[in-house]
Chains A and B, each alone.
Chain A
């Protein structure tokens, strides 16, 4: 079965702090894709990053960075020097090809509150 676990329900930080959002996934497929989405209060899910199962290279985009480790089935997301505008719900998602076609399996999300 495909599953995504985001153990942190809610995280509160003060502006400029670094914060890491954890994501652990389960799949028996060898080919899969991992995603992070941001959901601000407006409700629209905003795509942040995609990573395929053959590419374990970490990625940095501005204040955002992602750490993908197949050995621990984790795909963690770090925001450096957090800002109030980063406050949102963040979802990690998994797409497997062999069994489940094209649908995304989402974790329950982590609410991030950044206080000024």
Chain B
């Protein structure tokens, strides 16, 4: 499978626990994005990497959230001290750099439920 893959697909955690999600982009893509999607809404931008550099972070990304892309390949998104409001689908996408109109390809997402 050469698409964007995310792991795990589902995660149930207790409030206050830390969780980490992984995203493996399409191999030749140097841009990687994280989005969050709540029920009945469109995805909302969280953060974006070009290679290993984190170039933009949304104000939605509180200090409990951290993302890394250490070698410019896979990325991790960690949420510390989870809250019920963090329950959502977390989507990863990747794209080529160059023309800004280049489309992003999305993974199937990680559905987080905080109980």
Contacts and interface: CB of A to CB of B under 8 A. Distances in A.
Interface in A25-47: 33, 35, 37, 42-47
Contact of B100 (A33, A43, A45): A33
Contacts of A46: 106
A103 B45 contact: yes
Contacts of A44: 3, 106-109
A106 interface: yes
Interface centre among B40, B42, B45, B111 (most CB of A within 10 A): B42
For chain B, which range describes its interface: under 10, 10 to 19, 20 to 34, or 35 or more residues?
20 to 34
Contact of A35 (B3, B35, B55, B103): B103
A45 B106 contact: yes
Given A44-B106, A95-B101, A101 B56 contact: yes
B112 interface: no
Nearest to B40: A108
Interface string B95-115: 100001101111111010000
Contacts of A97: 100
Contacts of B67: none
B108 A108 contact: no
B21 interface: no
B103 A102 contact: no
Given A45-B43, A107-B42, A109-B42, A50 B106 contact: no
Contact of B103 (A47, A91, A103, A106): A47
B42 A93 contact: yes
B56 to A, nearest CB: 5
9 contacts: A4-B42, A43-B111, A44-B3, A47-B104, A52-B101, A104-B45, A106-B42, A106-B43, A109-B42
